[in-house]
């Protein structure tokens, strides 16, 4: 029997992985000591999924430098130290990274150099290097997953959830640069499915988790208009990455013939269901 430990108890992805994978122990990144309560001898082997994220509302704030670093790389280091000190039989380690590590690179291939543009993405790269070094030194199989723009589930942070919530509240959506930037949006169910397959696959050090299909917010809004759904918008101009699309050949080699959910269809369904609830 395999134990699956997920670090990052309260994240959207962790909660959905918990529902989809058996024998899961959810550990809060602020309470790593909870590992002491696990009897590892009851399991043949153990998988570790590092899924800790910065608090979304504080992603670009540095009120407490110590807390910011602790929520990212310090947590990773403490868990790795615990695993080594207690000689835990590790089958595989997955570290949830981000497409942000590519920076202004528009090709986003796993073999490309990383070019982080923020503290958050820089710490993601540092975590990647730490995981890589630890696993290679200790002969542990590992996979770094670079997740693109995830939406769905309990998401309250992505631009996709904002579109849905703004429509429900009859609010105004602020478009950055007319909504023309192109992103690779992937549903949380597709991410979870990918993780399940990755847990069963060896020797995949880095894999993009994305659809390889780019769409802009402007495209999504035009799609909604064609379905008689109109959102009020205003605009601001600021610097941003204009194109970020995953190369996903490695992912498709792992998950096989797979149909990703369409982000525009997901939004349309959510809005239509909301309208039906209002009528009822």
Q: How many CB atoms lie within 10 A of CB 240?
A: 10
Per-residue confidence (pLDDT) for residue 15, from 0 to 100: 95
pTM for this prediction: 0.94
For the chain, the domains span 2-154+186-211+245-260
**pLDDT per residue over 139-150, tens digit each?**
999 999 999 999
Cα angle for residues 118, 59, 192 (degrees, 5° grid): 100
Round to whole Å and give the CA distance between 91 and 144.
15
Beta carbons within 8 Å of 78's beta carbon, 6+ residues apart: 32
**pLDDT per residue over 175-208, tens digit each?**
999 999 999 999 999 999 999 999 999 999 999 9
Round to whole Å and give the CA distance between 24 and 2.
9
Per-residue confidence (pLDDT) for residue 273, from 0 to 100: 84
- The architecture in CATH of the region 2-154+186-211+245-260 reads 3-Layer(aba) Sandwich (3.40)
């Amino acid at each position: 029997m395999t134990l699956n430990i997920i670090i990052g108890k309260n994240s959207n992805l962790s909660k959905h992985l918990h529902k989809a994978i058996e024998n899961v122990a959810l550990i809060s990144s602020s309470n790593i000591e909870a590992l002491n309560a696990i009897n590892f001898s009851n399991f043949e082997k153990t998988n570790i999924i590092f899924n800790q994220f910065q608090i979304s509302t504080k992603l670009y704030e540095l009120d407490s430098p110590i807390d910011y670093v602790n929520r990212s790389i310090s947590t990773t280091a403490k868990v790795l130290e615990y695993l080594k000190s207690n000689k835990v039989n590790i089958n595989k380690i997955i570290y949830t990274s981000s497409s942000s590590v590519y920076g202004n690179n528009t090709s986003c291939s796993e073999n490309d150099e990383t070019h982080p543009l923020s503290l958050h993405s820089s710490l993601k790269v540092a975590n990647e290097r730490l995981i890589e070094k630890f696993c290679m030194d200790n002969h542990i199989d590992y996979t770094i997953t670079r997740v693109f723009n995830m939406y769905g589930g309990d998401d309250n942070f992505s631009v996709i959830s904002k579109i849905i919530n703004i429509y429900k509240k009859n609010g105004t959506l602020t478009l950055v640069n007319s909504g023309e930037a192109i992103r690779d949006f992937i549903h949380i169910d597709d991410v979870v499915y990918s993780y399940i397959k990755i847990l069963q696959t060896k020797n995949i050090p880095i894999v993009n988790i994305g659809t390889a299909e780019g769409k802009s917010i402007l495209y999504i809004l035009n799609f909604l208009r064609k379905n008689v759904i109109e959102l009020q918008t205003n605009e601001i101009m600021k610097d941003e990455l204009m194109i970020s699309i995953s190369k996903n050949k490695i992912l498709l080699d792992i998950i096989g013939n797979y149909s990703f959910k369409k982000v525009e269809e997901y939004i349309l369904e959510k809005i239509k269901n909301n309208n039906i609830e209002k009528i009822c």
